[in-house]
Amino acid sequence: MQDQKKHRDSFMGLRTMTLLCLLGALSTIFPQFPALPLILFGAITALVVIGHAHGNFVMQRIGMTSELTALLTFFIGVLVGFEQQILALLLTVFLGGINAFRDVLHKFAKTLEPQEWIGLLQLVALSGVVLPFLPREAIDPWGVFVPFHVWLLVMLISGIGFVGYFLIKYLGARGGIPLTGFLGGLVSSTAVTISMATRSKETNLPRIFTGGILVALATMQFRVVLEILLLGPKEIFSFLFIPITMSVVSSLFAVYFFVKSKSKKTSFFKKPERVKLENPFEIIPALKFGFIFLVVLFALALGKRYFGDSGVYVAAFLSGVVDIDAIVLSSLESIKLGELSNQVAYNAIAIALFTNTLVKVGYVGIMGSKSVFRKVSLATVAVTLVGIGVFLLT
């Protein structure tokens, strides 16, 4: 008991949190006193300020986690009283998580480098500060450029890259080439392809590097599945069979090359090849993607308007050479805007997917060894032919 009292550094425990939440909920059930939640919140804030001052000057306690938790707990109760149960539940899970994993979060924060903190602040600023103030209506004569939607999709891709950076940082060093192919594919399958193709000239491990490239390719194809599931209409869900099938076949080829590599008595977990990323969030690449996405969006709309479906397909092909996400997200956005039919968007995404898959052969041919080039060419062409076959059957 003495140890518990000695180490206790918070003025709020479980019972206090429960009572604060209950008080917040009860404050909303008196319609004759609409200002009661605000009055009680002010009173609790005053008590929290007094408690914080006492902790700082008397108990020498540093930090404000308990104080802020008290205010949020009361607010959660108010949300429950106003029947906002989903938001209240999300806040409860968030508070429980940061308190339960306090030590883990502190240790994680100590491992972050200055440029990573800067990247986090940039991501928060460009998403949480800029996004809410952007127009939610089209601002161009053709009715396709909605700044809010475009920037939201930019932040989606940037967020994927941000998460991928830390996965590579903390897991990639020990997972070897297969894990690097997967983690790097979350960020950019092209970056993985170029990196592994270049190293294949330095090390005689053609099957292992081929498997790593195919893992990144399978990850890219599965990423397309996730984008359609998150942002696409239900009518286009039948298209999912194409990238799913291609991802499965790419994975099978990768497994085949990894298994065959064992005959060389080499271990592909020994020397991991990492995708070199210097910053978790860089403004210039994000803006480049936004520009590409916007150009593709206009190309799809204008191509459809002045050249019919053929103009959309040319834009899809050119975009697939550069970036698969731009054409997928642009096509899905164009469906919402009524610029493209489901079938035309279906065809455009398929063309971009096939193009982006085959273009990896070109990168390996220019930068990789001849042995890796032959193996990647065989597997990639086979994967593309399977995708085309599924496309023709659906």
DSSP string, 349-368: HHHHHHHHHHHHHHHHHHHS
CA distance 89 to 94: 9
Q: Say how many Å lie between the first and final Cα of the chain, rounded.
A: 69
Q: How confident is the model at residue 382 (pLDDT cuts 50, 70, 90)?
A: very high
pLDDT tens digits for range 144-162: 778 887 787 677 666 655 7
Helix, strand, or coil here: 339? coil
Q: % helix / strand / coil in the chain, to the nearest 5? A: 80, 0, 20
Take residue 327 and report the two structure tokens written for it.
């054409």
CA distance 221 to 214: 10
Amino acid present at 162? F
The CB density around residue 106, as the number of other CB atoms within 10 Å, is 9
CA distance 175 to 181: 10
Higher pLDDT, 370 or 320: 370
Take residue 43 and report the two structure tokens written for it.
């009173």
Neighbouring residues of 281: CB distance < 8 A, sequence distance ≥ 6: 119, 120, 122, 123, 158, 161, 162, 165
CA distance 229 to 288: 25
In this predicted structure, the answer to whether residue 101 has a pLDDT above a threshold of 80 is no
Q: Tally the residues of the chain.
A: 394
Higher pLDDT, 8 or 286: 286
Of the ranges 121-130, 203-212, 303-312, the best mean pLDDT one: 203-212
Element at 341 (helix H, strand E): none
pLDDT tens digits for range 48-78: 777 767 666 666 666 667 777 788 888 888 8
CA distance 216 to 380: 12
pLDDT tens digits for range 27-45: 888 887 888 888 888 888 8
In this predicted structure, the answer to whether residue 89 has a pLDDT above a threshold of 70 is yes
Say if pTM beats, i.e. exceeds, 0.85: no
Residue 70 pLDDT: 81
Amino acid present at 205? L
Higher pLDDT, 121 or 215: 215
Cα 366 to the center of its chain, rounded Å = 30
Residue 363 pLDDT: 79
Give the least confident one: 40-44, 118-122, 319-323. 319-323
Q: Which of 172-206 are b and which e, b meaning 16 or more Cβ less than 10 Å from the residue's Cβ?
A: beebbbbbbbbbbbbbbbbebbbbbbbbbeeeebb
Task: Of 91, 281, 251, give the one whose Cα is nearest residue 187.
Answer: 281
Average pLDDT, the chain: 76
Q: How confident is the model at residue 4 (pLDDT cuts 50, 70, 90)?
A: very low
Task: Of 331, 357, 329, give the one whose Cα is nearest residue 343.
Answer: 331
- Average pLDDT of span 280-295: 65
CA separation, residue 201 to residues 197, 206, 259, 373 (Å): 7, 9, 21, 11
- Average pLDDT of span 107-131: 73
Higher pLDDT, 178 or 257: 257
CA distance 99 to 247: 39
pLDDT tens digits for range 198-222: 777 767 778 888 888 899 899 988 9
